[in-house]
Structure 1
């Protein structure tokens, strides 16, 4: 596996989507490093393993994975300009012989397609699958019947501190951004989130003992944040560049 562009027939297949239909919520790098620490704690030698990141977006998850895994195959249904992307392709296609041989599939899947992405990932991963999802993903009869009842997670890893995601941009949660509120008044504020996130990890037999473990990820954002993780604050989110349409900034 290399970081050069893959031009196979499977990778060239694309699902064309309207820009506003994509779940464009980049994952903060520290949240991926937290997963890698948990996997290492379970005894996995990630430096000897290969991973597939099928929702690579702008690379904010793939790059931290490359710090721990031997190699990372990065794809996405859209080209976001990430230099390390191996191909533009829909993960849910029939990859056949073009599928990379990987130990783990690690991803932040589209919320509405989370079930399908996890099921598909379990077909390709030799060892396991890790999905970054809203903690409420574990609820619901449909997902229980289609996935959790017969293939429960090996690890349920909720974050103690909130992982804040923004649509279309990765922002440093320590840097205030300018927002226009409903009353028309603007102010600088650090965004917060009412949404809780977890890593769900499936380990395939024979490495899995059949039991599920629930373990919280202790506060670690500051410890696992590295210089250069966050791009510069976009001009339109700075106070001096405030405009009427800045209230459209969305975080979840």
Structure 2
């Protein structure tokens, strides 16, 4: 029997407990958050507002999401628990203190990241403590499932927006690959920050239309300079 060597990342993947769960985000998927999702926050979605806002990416890895966010936000702060990837001082986002680079700036207004899936719930809670306006997490759509997760998060703290991608977002462990495929579905979940006054407890559903072709840019899949 031949071995299946497909590069597709399957929905049932499992990561070791101590894994960094580093699956770099294709930049077009980050741009889709701005172009198709954050407009759902009303006045906070306008580009002019984002251009004067500070966003923190606390699991930035090799800065793929940081670089895409920098196209929209006035200031982007990138930190990661692993300094070997990020090239800066390590910071554990789940610790109850802010790194110097965050503490001595306004905001952050937004926290936006692709968190380790096994820690996604903890990232949401911590993000809501530190972000003034909104917290956006890119996670597998199966994050919606599970009785424990419902009781711990969704029953009392549903997202403002649930935005599934209508096309696949291929992510491979440890690297970007333009030719990668995927059987896994992803979505952006957006929660209110500590100063955002929500008007409804019911999440807004926003389908992200097919947009990869329109949002990819030259150089997206090149290795970042170090």
1:76-95 paired onto structure 2 within 5 Å: 76-82=80-86, 85=88, 87-95=89-97
Indicate the residue corresponding to 1:28 in structure 2. Answer: 26
TM superposition score normalised by structure 1: 0.72
Residue equivalent to 1:120? 126
2:192 is the counterpart of 1:193: no
Pairwise CA distance, 1:226: 0.5
Runs of 4+ in 1 over 6 A off after TM superposition: none
> SS where residue 67 of structure 1 aligns?
coil
The within-5 A match list for 1:142-157 is 142-157=148-163
Which structure would you say has the larger Rg? 1
CA distance in 1, matches of 2:53, 2:123: 21
After superposition, the Cα gap between the structure-2 partners of 1:109 and 1:96, relative to the gap in structure 1 and judged at 3 Å, is closer
User: CA distance change for structure 1 residues 141 and 162 in 2, over 3 Å: closer, same or farther?
Assistant: same
Query: Secondary structure of the residue that 2:175 maps to in structure 1?
Result: coil
Gaps of 5+ in 2: 1-15
The alignment status of 1:140 with 2:140, answered yes or no, reads no
Q: Indicate conservation of the 8 Å contact 1:171/1:231, yes or no.
A: no
State whether structure 2 residue 210 is matched by structure 1 residue 222.
no
* Structure 2 counterpart of 1:60, from 57, 60, 64: 64
**CA–CA distance in structure 2, aligned partners of residues 97 and 26 of structure 1:** 23
Aligned residues of 1:131 and 1:199 also touching (Cα < 8 A):
yes
Per-residue deviation, residues 9-31 of structure 1 (Å, max 9, x unmatched): xxxxxxxxx99711010000000
Measure how far apart 1:207 and its partner are.
3.4
Q: Which has the higher strand share?
A: 1
Asked if residue 102 in structure 1 is aligned to residue 92 in structure 2, the reply is: no
Instruction: Count matched residues.
Output: 196
C-alpha distance in 2 between matches for 1:49 and 1:78: 26
> Does 1:203 pair with 2:192?
yes
Report which structure shows greater RCO (CA 8 Å, sep ≥6). 2
Question: What is the correspondence of 1:159-170 to structure 2 with a 5 Å cutoff?
Answer: 159-170=165-176
Shift of 1:147: 1.1
